[in-house]
Amino acid sequence: MQKLSILCFLVFLSLPLAAQKKPAPKPKAPAASAGASKSIAAGKQIYSQYCLSCHQADGGGVQNMNPPLIKTSYVLGDKTRLTKVLLNGLQDVDIDGEPYNNVMPSHDFLTDQQIADVLTFVRNSFGNKATAVSAAEVKAVRAANKK
Amino acid sequence: MKKNLTRYLLLPAALVGSLSLYALTTPPTLVADANNAGLKLPTGFSALVVAETGARPRHLTITPQGNIYVKLNRVNKSGQGILMLQPTSGGKAEVKTGFGNYGGTGMYYKDGYLYASSDQEVFRYKLNDKGEVTNPSQPEKIVTGLINRRQHESKSIVLDNAGNVYVNVGAYSNSCQQRDRQKGSLGQPNCPILDSAGGVWQFKANQMNQTYGNGKRYVTGLRNVVGLDWNQQDNQLFVMQHGRDQLHDIFPDLYDAKQSAQLPAECMYAVKPGDNAGWPYMYYDQVQQKKILAPEYGGDGKKEADTKFIDPAAAFPGHMAPNGLLFYTGNMFPERYKNGAFIAFHGSWNRAPEPQAGYFVVFQPFKNGKPDGKWEVFADNFAGAPEKVASGRADHRPCGLAQAPDGSLYVTDDAKGTIYRIFYNKK
């Protein structure tokens, strides 16, 4: 027990160090938990069914029409904002300086779990690496969104 | 003696003078790029890159003097939305000047004027006898206040021979659903979008500040037209419609992904004043060769639409995005091309997960002013490779077409900014 807490303490100490080292070999991201892998696999199905026709199989979108999902501020940034895009749709917004003229419809008919899965998939595909989105987080955003 | 000497001196001077005049009036020799600029063309045709604009050129037009005017989708770094290029050598050209502080698509030359459109206005510029714009910063604003809600924003333009300009106002919607592109959402009754969009409007070419009230809704029920041209044989407007998207996404129980990739047709319409092409209430199914009631309005993929809607003059595979239409009236190409239609297909996105298609220039043969026979691919490989067509990650995407005074064909690419010139090698 004591050993474990020392270990935890050491890891805690080394975190800011790791963050500072710029070209450091990427510390192996904590292996995606079984839950996250399951979520990514389920999310892939949702993506193919509801997202792919606009955002394309490679997540690259369509110039001037449908935004790419590759390392954009929307995808990698604030999870609440990203969740709201699915719940409410998106229109008339430039993304990272580029205009996209198509309309994204609301996908509020997806369940909290489905939205969590597809967002986790998108945030961990096409070269993206970002934290998972949980059904509980989606539920909270949806509840606040209704006000 | 002195007089005689002057005479002798004058003679060669006159010769040189007339020779240079001759050089000015003789078309320059066209030199093909080594690999035809990467394009695949029918036997006897060659291509060269006229210029790299580094921008996103949409439509272009060429004056009788050979000056090339190109409309940019967005202004370049210098804040210019129109580029003017002049010929250099071998058929190439270089940018001489730029003006117009607005992005847009429309660019058309007619009778000493250059016409240009932003996404809500139409302007015109007076040209001098050298084909240069005389009022680059003070164009006449002939049309204003056209609706622009980003979706289908291009205000493509063409003129007839009677002083009218025709302007596309695309529908700001896919299929006039209550919730645009929403799965299962039904169509709005008596689609209100058609009041001010979803058609082509006619305005006077020489009147200032016209808006909807001054113009005439010339044809309605067109979802979005980017390529259009005036057919001189028929003295009639022809348009290419971008057909609706996402039959499968919106109505998965009625259409599978394959049908959704294939349908509906991209249609060419020959229009008369007052015509209705049927959007959003119908689409044209090129497989059944029928006008089909849209699923948003009670269709099931089989029920036919009201017969009052006009039939297409020609139908092409779905989603290929016809962005340029040009009736060929030149004398350079072989006789069979005369008065036929070239169509620039920008290339699809809405066929995913099926392979994408398009990214080429098509030729549709015509006879006596009517489409005659099947269309054929004329200029291919803008994408760079077949797998780049399939994935939709094309290197170049054809958009605008223009005919040069010598009869060669110019094509813009609004992905990388290349301007191509295709010509025929006389045998």
Among A53, A60, A62, beta carbon nearest to B249: A53
Residue A9 has pLDDT above 70, yes or no: no
Q: Which pLDDT value is given to residue A97?
A: 86
Q: CA nearest B340: which of B255, B409, B264? A: B409
Q: Which pLDDT value is given to residue B4?
A: 53
Using CB atoms and an 8 Å cut-off, which of residues 40-59 of chain A contact chain B?
48, 50, 52-54, 56-58
Average the pLDDT over A44-64 and give the result: 95
Most confident of A2-16, A31-45, B110-124: B110-124
Q: How far apart are CA B418 and CA B413, in angstroms?
A: 5
Among A53, A65, A104, beta carbon nearest to B246: A53
Q: How far apart are CA B262 and CA B285, in angstroms?
A: 9
The separation between CA B379 and the C-alpha centre of its own chain, rounded to angstroms, equals 15
Instruction: Note whether A43 and A118 are within 8 A (CB).
Output: yes
Distance of residue B59 Cα from the nearest chain A Cα, in angstroms: 16
Q: Which pLDDT value is given to residue A67?
A: 96
**Best of A91, A95, A103, A109 to disrupt the B interface by mutation (most B CBs within 10 Å)?**
A103
Residue A19 has pLDDT above 90, yes or no: no
Kindly list the residues from chain A whose CB atom is less than 8 angstroms away from the CB atom of residue B151: 101-103
The separation between CA B145 and the C-alpha centre of its own chain, rounded to angstroms, equals 22
Average the pLDDT over B291-313 and give the result: 98
Local structure of B287: helix, strand or coil: coil
**Does A101 contact B at CB distance below 8 Å?**
yes
Local structure of B377: helix, strand or coil: strand
Q: Which pLDDT value is given to residue A35?
A: 78
Q: Which residue did the predictor score with more confidence, B139 or B19?
A: B139
Q: How far apart are CA B143 and CA B418, in angstroms?
A: 30
**Does B353 contact A at CB distance below 8 Å?**
yes
Confidence of residue A147 (pLDDT cuts 50, 70, 90): low
Q: How far apart are CA B27 and CA B10, in angstroms?
A: 28
Q: Could you tell me if the ipTM is greater than 0.90?
A: no
pLDDT > 90: percent of chain A: 65
Strand order in the sheet with B341-345: B322-327, B341-345, B360-364, B376-379
Give the type of residue at B4.
N
Q: How far apart are CA B186 and CA B179, in angstroms?
A: 8
Q: Which pLDDT value is given to residue B424?
A: 97
Task: Give the CATH number of domain B2-424.
Answer: 2.120.10.30
A121, B69, B147, B159, B278 from B175: Cα distances, Å? 30, 34, 17, 28, 11
Local structure of B71: helix, strand or coil: strand
**Is the CB of B349 less than 8 angstroms away from the CB of A64?**
no
Distance of residue B325 Cα from the nearest chain A Cα, in angstroms: 21
**Is the CB of B174 less than 8 angstroms away from the CB of A64?**
no
Confidence of residue B427 (pLDDT cuts 50, 70, 90): low
Torsion sign over Cα A13, A15, A17, A20: negative
Q: What is the pLDDT of residues A112-127, one digit of tens each?
A: 999 999 999 999 999 9
Average the pLDDT over A22-33 and give the result: 50
Average pLDDT score over chain B? 94
Among A52, A54, A103, beta carbon nearest to B180: A103
What are the structural domains, with CATH classification, of chain A? 36-145 (1.10.760.10)
Instruction: Note whether B29 and B410 are within 8 A (CB).
Output: no
Q: Which pLDDT value is given to residue A14?
A: 45
Distance of residue A16 Cα from the nearest chain B Cα, in angstroms: 40
Q: Which pLDDT value is given to residue B409?
A: 98
Confidence of residue A92 (pLDDT cuts 50, 70, 90): confident
Confidence of residue A141 (pLDDT cuts 50, 70, 90): very high
Q: Phi/psi class of residue B339: alpha, beta or left (left: φ > 0; alpha: ψ in -120 to 50)?
A: left
Q: Which pLDDT value is given to residue A46?
A: 97
Q: Count of H helices and E strands in chain A?
A: 7, 0
Kindly list the residues from chain A whose CB atom is less than 8 angstroms away from the CB atom of residue B353: 48, 52-53, 57
Q: Please give the interface size between A and B, counted as residue pairs whose CB atoms are below 8 Å apart.
A: 55
Q: What is the pLDDT of residues B348-368, one digit of tens each?
A: 999 999 999 999 999 999 999
